[in-house]
Amino acid sequence: MNDEVEWVPKTRLGEMVSRGEITDIAEVFRRGFRIMEPEIVDVLLPGLKEEVLDITMVQRMHKSGRRMRFRATVVVGNENGYVGVGKGVAKEVGPAIRKAIKDAKLNIIQVARGCGSWECGCGTWHSVPFAVTGRAGSVRMTLLPAPRGTGLVTNDVSKKILALAGISDVWSKAFGEKRTTINTTRATYEALRKTTRMKLNESAVKAVGFTVGAR
């Protein structure tokens, strides 16, 4: 028995993707569309990889007593310029992870990559093009360009996010309560988001030689 349900688009973007009018996710970002259906990402970025970063038991008070839930934090990416993070809460671990995956797909972003390290200058897309900083709660994460071969010099959570974004070399500086996985995740995500939001003049773009999205 096939449990898969045929996707029926509910948004304009979904209809355009379903009809084949948009076949490249880069065009979605270029035209400023907001992704509101995870199936859009399934179509435009097939083979997306998923990584569970954290599963935590949470509780809240209700008139009937304490209610226990599981909260999952997940990162998805294609290892080539696109990454998203999400969280999901449910009574069981499985449904919480599935909700987190859907949320991560809705939060997919483009990541600009480049060779912004003065020590390297190879011109390939292996690091961040310039220093970026993201904040979440008490955590502040700064990602710095690193020469090829350095690796990901950061904490384990950020390593998984950066790897799925397609970044292989980076220095980092982190401040705050880094043991809080969800804040560390959000801070790293916000830093990567800024790689496409910061404006560079033409000479700076040529100097770091960066690309946005998939190669």
Q: Are residues 51 and 134 in the same domain?
A: no
Instruction: Give residue 199's pLDDT.
Output: 53
CA atoms within 13 Å, Cβ hemisphere of 182: 11
Q: Are 82 and 191 in contact (CB under 8 A)?
A: no
4 within some domain: no
5 part of a folded domain? no
Q: Is residue 7 part of a domain?
A: no
Contact between 172 and 141 under an 8 Å Cβ cutoff? The reply is yes
Q: How confident is the model at residue 165, as a pLDDT? A: 97
pLDDT lower than 70: segments of the chain: 1-4, 198-215
Same domain, yes or no: 204 and 150 = yes
Q: Is residue 177 part of a domain?
A: yes
Give the domain-ending residue among 79, 109, 139.
109
Domain holding 70, by residue range, is: 12-109
Residue 202 has a pLDDT of 42
Pair of tokens at residue 103: 């949320």
66: which strand partners?
61
The reply to whether 98 and 120 lie within a common domain is: no
The domain that holds 132 is classified in CATH as 3.30.230.10
Report the pLDDT value the prediction gives residue 215, as an integer from 0 to 100. Answer: 44
User: What pLDDT was estimated at residue 213?
Assistant: 60
Domain co-membership, 98 together with 60: yes
The whole-number pLDDT of residue 79 equals 96
pLDDT confidence of residue 212: 59
Q: Are residues 199 and 150 in the same domain?
A: yes
CA–CA gap between residue 26 and residue 44 (Å, rounded): 9
Q: State whether 64 and 147 are in the same domain.
A: no
pLDDT at residue 121, rounded to an integer:
79
117 shares a domain with 105:
no
CATH for 82: 3.30.160.20
Q: Counting beta carbons within 10 angstroms of the beta carbon of residue 26, is it exposed (0 to 12), middle (13 to 18) or buried (19 or more)?
A: middle
User: How many domains is the chain partitioned into structurally?
Assistant: 2
Q: Pairing relation of β-strands 139-145 and 132-136?
A: antiparallel
In a domain, 183, yes or no: yes
